[in-house]
Amino acid sequence: MPQSMLASMWMPSAEELSQLAPLFALVATIVALLLAAMFTNRNRNVAASIVTLGAIGTGLLAWKRLQSGAPSWAGFDPNGMGPMLISDTFSQFFIVLACVFMLVVTAMWWLGQKSDLPDSEVHRMDATEFFVLFVGSAFGMSLMVSTTNLLMIILAVEMASLPSYGITAFRKKNRVAAEASMKYVLFGAITSAIMIYGASLLYGYYQTLDLATIGMKIAADMQAGATTGTLFLSVAVFAFMVGIAFKVSAVPFHFWCPDVFQGASIEVTTWLSVASKAAGLGLMLRVLSVIICAPSAFPVEAFKYVSLAIAIMAALTCTVGNLAAYRQMNLKRLLAYSSIAHAGYMLMAVAILWSPTDAGIGAAHPAFSAIVSYIIVYLLMNAGAFFVVAMVYWSTGSESITAMNGLIRRSPMLAVCMAIILFSLVGMPPLGGFMAKFYLLMAVWKGGLYWLVVIAVLNTLISLYYYARIVRAMILTDDGLPEISAPMSGQLIVAMCTIGIILTGVLLGPMKEIANNNASNLYAVVKSDVAPRTASAAGPSAATPNTENADTAPTIP
Amino acid sequence: MDASLVLNLVIFGPLLGMVLVLIAPAEMAKRITWLTSFVVFLLSLTLFPTFLDGSAFDGGYGENMQAVTQMDWINVVGLKIQYHIGLDGLSFALIILTTLVMWLAAWTSWNFNTWKVNKGAKGYFALFLLLETGILGTFASIDFFLFYIFWELMLLPMYFLIGVWGGAKKEYAAIKFFIYTLAGSVLMLVALLAMYYSSADAMNTSTGTFDLITYATNKAIQQNFNDPNHMFLGWNFGKVMFIFLFIGFMIKVPLFPFHTWLPLAHVEAPTPISMILAGVLLKLGAYGFLRVCYPIFPAAATELAFLVATLGVVNIIYGAFCCLAQTDFKRLVAYSSISHMGYVVLGIAVMTTTGFQGAMFQILAHGISSPMCFFLVGVIYDRAHHREINRFGGLWLQMPKYGSLATLGFFASLGLPGLCGFIGEAWVLLGTFNANKVHESMTWAPGMAVVAAFGVVLTAAYILWMIQRVYLGTERKEYAGFPDVTAREAAILVPFAVLAIFMGVMPGYTFQLMNGTIDQVLTLIKPMTAMAFGG
Amino acid sequence: MIEDAAFYIFAGVSLFSAIAVVLSKNIVRAAVGLLGTLGGVACLYFLADANLLGVIQLIVYAGGTLILIVFGIMLTSQSPWVGFLPTKVQAIAASIVAVILTIGIVRLVTLVPWAQRNPDELSQSLTVKSIGDALLTTYLVPFEVASVLLLVVMIGAAYLARTEK
């Protein structure tokens, strides 16, 4: 085989490449940004237009695939070692979400231009760099949901993280931003290191980078009655999850989050608050779907510990997030803690997914679907909330809670929308936030982690107080601040988010349907993708190395 | 018109009114609200005939619900939630009470622009109507999930109505009300989830049910819910769920020791909102006991009867003593609500026909007398701008019509024979006294009734003392020029007064509305209670 | 036999240099310690027949990154970071975590029946040619993604390093 290597040089076919059109579109956007900067003298409007077009184009390509019901595709697999990239309903769904959110953030950037605050200044001057980093992180996040290969996952996480560090520090003269970015980098580096360590353990033992194959080998091991793997597997999997936990800002990997949210400009904060978390959760689901669901319904001892660890992490995450939010006066910081808390709720369903008990396996499908629902609603809520904060900020230059005082008089539209959004964040029916949380709690309950449900509802109660503080400032307090000159288009976006929140609450059927479809599709992918390889992987025990598969693999650098 | 259509209109009519209020200019808001609530009241009255001819009560519990609308709200894999509403003897009278009190409260809000905080009329009236939808929806819901949604829907408008248009400590009062009630609802949420999945287990289906009637009547579910061996985290499932739900509802009633939000909220809220709070919102807690706790968890209810009855009696006595200590007029009425709601809980706790009837009657009677009392306080507050009982005196002489109506209202609240309060209290006490004959193990019941009867004496004491200080005695100069009740005020007071007398003199008509369903519920739960009492 | 001895020597060198990096109070000495660690690890790669990786380790880390770090230190030696020392509490907490981690990792490594590979096949798969082939076939996608990553990061770095006008 080695002699004829070059002769049998593998090339991806056009058909294979066309499956990845959305990803190519994002890279093309980056290239177009750089080229346009050269020819238009770094014109910021051109840059923003390119990003807008790129996001729309990518979104449409992904939407087309989503709509056409194209069969899931997993490819770039020249030597039968498992696919490098995957394009299926699940990944396309997340790419569409990312594109929608890119448009929201770009709109925010555009509207922010009109204010004469110092950070708008920075964004005006260096729009090209800003957008390159921005689209770069979007590309990374899209990759995160499009792969099940350990190496690709690590690269995708880095692709999402490194540009994020850059845009966090984008306001170079701002000390808070610099400090935030520094913390972000340090935390990111350490958690990445742990993640890579976990990945190398998995690779070292199972001799493959493909998570689906690893899942099959775990199953084979278990069927063969091997138990030595318990400690190893729980440590390796948990270490691997640390990198993702960092992305979703789970406690104790959350310390970067409040500082970064406060230090970064509001566009960046909005972007990170939703996209980074959604991508992290998407990746978690992806990883889970191949490791857990592939070998269906087998009680892997190790996953009990992983599940417990994640459950504890989830409980801590939402409790710490909610308690820390109490004292915050800075709106962005408060919303940062709120986003930590919401990540905690979503992690609860992740804990169910890892749970190897009968109840846990029975609840896997609802849990998948609940997380997807939650992400949809969470996107709407955070986009709306940050947009309101942004408009108040542009008009007053302040991010403090007191800047919201008397908003009901200064801009009734914004105040009413914000109140609805905040109560949805609390989880008050009949708003979308409640429905999403309800699905989540249903799944967790079905999975048998009753104590987590109790913690979640107690947290709902705790969270009420600090969300209500903003409501109080907006509606019950008035110290005569001048009226807000909110741009019409911004108000429109906020109104759309609010209507979306109400609709997801009242017409809960469609959202649940989408979420269910996504969850089912993820299962379908796993089954169709993994089934053919089941036989080969399950044959020889994983302890005996599969040298044929491993021989072309270079050591992980 | 088709009864189910009418019920839907009654529930969502206020929502339409809310939209109108938001669209129309601010000056029109109160007129639209008045008209909407009046039309809703009239509509709800058209539902009467079915309940008067008694045919509504053929068959078992839930078999002959009236004005039913049932359709799927969400029906996906593993989750089925229905839009299922309907009326029976437990809910019908409460619907009428609600539409009436809301209409009169809307009328009370007529002088909105003379209030201290009189900005945002649109917001006030829009929230007012949203609140009405929430309350009516809760009473009519048969699906527990729907019930929960409407239950929570009431919270937000109430929070703002107290928080924006309230008195000096409005923000604290509003958030306290909010947090207490939300604490109750999260417990209810936990019970909701548990009941859903347990019902799925019991029926051996992948999809459970949220249907409150099915919970109570389905044999398999009842077996599962009341099985002493069905454990939940090491505790008896039925008991845990009963307690969760009970706490959720008792906060609303409110029962000691979760009552502290009430005096605050009542005192700080504007008059019409106090009327709604006392007249309708508190009833939701008691209604929750009757609709959710008792028919669904009879075994747990029986085992915990002593505890519940004790809480009821504590409420009666404690509330009455608190009243004696009050110098703020509105606070006194607020505490009297706590005391009166104690009778409701006591009547429910003993699970006898007379007890249930008394409790239901007391719910309605208090729904008439307490808004009336709050309005009476509001009338004098509008004129005197303070509520210090000790600073009043001789008001009857200065405002004779007001004085007469006030005395009638407070006597109704006191439980004077011939007025509505008497019947409810008497039935509850009778039912409690005889409970040991129905349930042999309730040996404590007569004693409980005796202690509770002591509450009647205390009630008489604080009300008479208050009347003496406020309405009797010599005239005071500072109140000399006070005008008597206006036509609007009289128009609001008269319906209350008429109903108080009517219910007191001819209680049969009121009982007729609910007796059938109460019998059905008691028949339904009888086997379970008998079993739980070791029979 | 001699390979075993060499392994322990190089492992020892990298380990002790690493300890020196942590314990040294003088930051220049720490940098020299780092050189020892990186070089030692490179030698371990050579021992394991991973010649290319060893060379890359030397060029990129020992050669490039380390020089950059030393330059960075020398250019900014006035900054307060030179004297940076952890507090006692931090040191104790860090040691505890380190000890636990070490025990855990050692247990992990000794407990797990790691796969043994055939040395002949292994050496063949580790030639420069086979790695190059792998990068353009099996690992083409990661290779391309890495290049996009580098492009984006380079632009970010250039922006952050650029002086303001």
Q: Which residues of chain B have pLDDT under 70?
A: 1, 54-56, 77, 531-535
Residue A391 — φ and ψ, nearest 5°? -70, -35
**Mean pLDDT in residue range A316-336:** 89
Q: Which residues of A touch B120 (CB under 8 A)?
A: 408
CA distance B294 to B249: 12
**Mean pLDDT in residue range A83-112:** 87
Q: Tell me the fold of C1-82.
A: Four Helix Bundle (Hemerythrin (Met), subunit A) (1.20.120)
Give strand pairing partners of B72. B82
Say if residue C40's pLDDT is above 70: yes
CA distance B289 to B248: 10
Least confident span in A117-131, A418-432, A470-484, C33-47: A117-131
Instruction: Answer yes or no: do A159 and C136 touch at CB < 8 A.
Output: no
pLDDT the model gives residue A428: 86
DSSP track, A65-83 = HHHHTPPPEEE--TTSS--
pLDDT the model gives residue C22: 82
User: Nearest Cα to B137, choosing from B12, B16, B292, B251?
Assistant: B12
pLDDT the model gives residue A547: 34
Residue of A nearest to C139 (CA): A84
Say if residue A523's pLDDT is above 60: no
Q: Which residue has the higher pLDDT, A536 or B425?
A: B425
Please tell me if residue B172 touches chain A, with a CB cutoff of 8 Å.
Answer: no
Q: Which residue has the higher pLDDT, C136 or A1?
A: C136
Instruction: Answer yes or no: do B75 and A430 touch at CB < 8 A.
Output: no
Q: Which residues of C touch A165 (CB under 8 A)?
A: 156
One-letter amino acid of B89: G
DSSP track, A162-205 = HHHHHHHT-STT-HHHHHHHHHHHHHHHHHHHHHHHHHHHHHHH
- Average pLDDT, whole number, for chain A? 81
User: Distance, in angstroms, between B287 CA and closest chain A CA?
Assistant: 20
**Mean pLDDT in residue range A242-254:** 87
Measure CA A335 to chain center.
16
Q: Which of A129, A143, A149 sits opposite C159 (nearest CB)?
A: A129
Kindly report each contact of residues C8-15 with a partner whose C-beta sits within 8 Å and lies 24 or more positions away, as own/partner: C10/C40, C10/C43, C10/C44, C10/C47, C11/C40, C11/C44, C12/C40, C13/C39, C13/C40, C13/C43, C14/C38, C14/C39, C14/C40, C14/C41, C14/C44, C15/C40
Residue of A nearest to C60 (CA): A557
Residue of B nearest to A363 (CA): B78
Question: Which chains share 3+ C-beta pairs under 8 angstroms with C?
Answer: A
- The terminus-to-terminus CA distance of chain A in angstroms comes to 24
User: Distance, in angstroms, between A472 CA and closest chain B CA?
Assistant: 8
Q: Which residue has the higher pLDDT, A447 or A9?
A: A447
Tell me the domain boundaries of chain C: 1-82, 86-117, 127-165
Query: In the numeric block, which tokens belong to residue A242?
Result: 């640390």
Instruction: Answer yes or no: do A450 and B170 touch at CB < 8 A.
Output: no
* b/e code A136-168 from CB counts within 10 Å (16+ = b): bbbbbbbbbbbbbbbbbbbbbbbbbbbbbbbbb
Percent of chain A with pLDDT over 90: 22
Tell me the domain boundaries of chain A: 19-538
Lookup result for tokens 């109506």 = B405
pLDDT band at residue A309 under the 50/70/90 scheme = confident
Instruction: Answer yes or no: do C142 and A151 touch at CB < 8 A.
Output: yes
Distances (CA, A) of A470 to A326, A343, A426, A493: 11, 21, 12, 20
Q: Which residues of C touch A124 (CB under 8 A)?
A: none
Residues in chain C whose Cβ is within 8 Å of chain A: 50, 53, 56, 104, 107-108, 111-118, 121-122, 124-126, 129-131, 133-134, 136-142, 145-146, 148-149, 151-153, 155-160, 164
Question: What is the H or E stretch that residue A85 is in?
Answer: strand A85-87
Say if residue A148's pLDDT is above 90: no
pLDDT the model gives residue A135: 93
Question: What is the H or E stretch that residue A503 is in?
Answer: helix A488-506
Q: Which of A428, A475, A516 sits opposite B164 (nearest CB)?
A: A475
Residue of A nearest to B162 (CA): A476
Q: Which residue has the higher pLDDT, A6 or C54?
A: C54
Instruction: Answer yes or no: do A555 and C53 touch at CB < 8 A.
Output: yes
Residue A251 — φ and ψ, nearest 5°? -65, 135
* Chain pair A-C, CB pairs under 8 angstroms: 139
ipTM above threshold 0.90: no
Query: In the numeric block, which tokens belong to residue B112?
Result: 């909105």
* Chain pair A-B, CB pairs under 8 angstroms: 78
Q: Which of A445, A451, A457 sits opposite B186 (nearest CB)?
A: A457
pLDDT band at residue A543 under the 50/70/90 scheme = very low
Question: Which chains share 3+ C-beta pairs under 8 angstroms with B?
Answer: A
pLDDT digits 0-9 by tens, A352-374: 887 777 777 777 778 888 888 88
CA distance A553 to A547: 10
User: Distance, in angstroms, between A166 CA and closest chain C CA?
Assistant: 6
Q: Judging by beta carbons within 10 Å of its beta carbon (0-12, 13-18, 19+), is residue A557 exposed, middle or buried?
A: exposed
**Mean pLDDT in residue range A78-104:** 84
Task: Say which residues have a Cβ less than 8 Å from residue A287's Cβ, sequence separation at least 6.
Answer: A148, A153, A211, A240, A241, A244
Strand (E) positions, B52-191? 66-76, 79-87
To test the contact with chain C by mutation, choose from A123, A147, A155, A167 the residue with the greatest count of C C-beta atoms within 10 A, namely A155
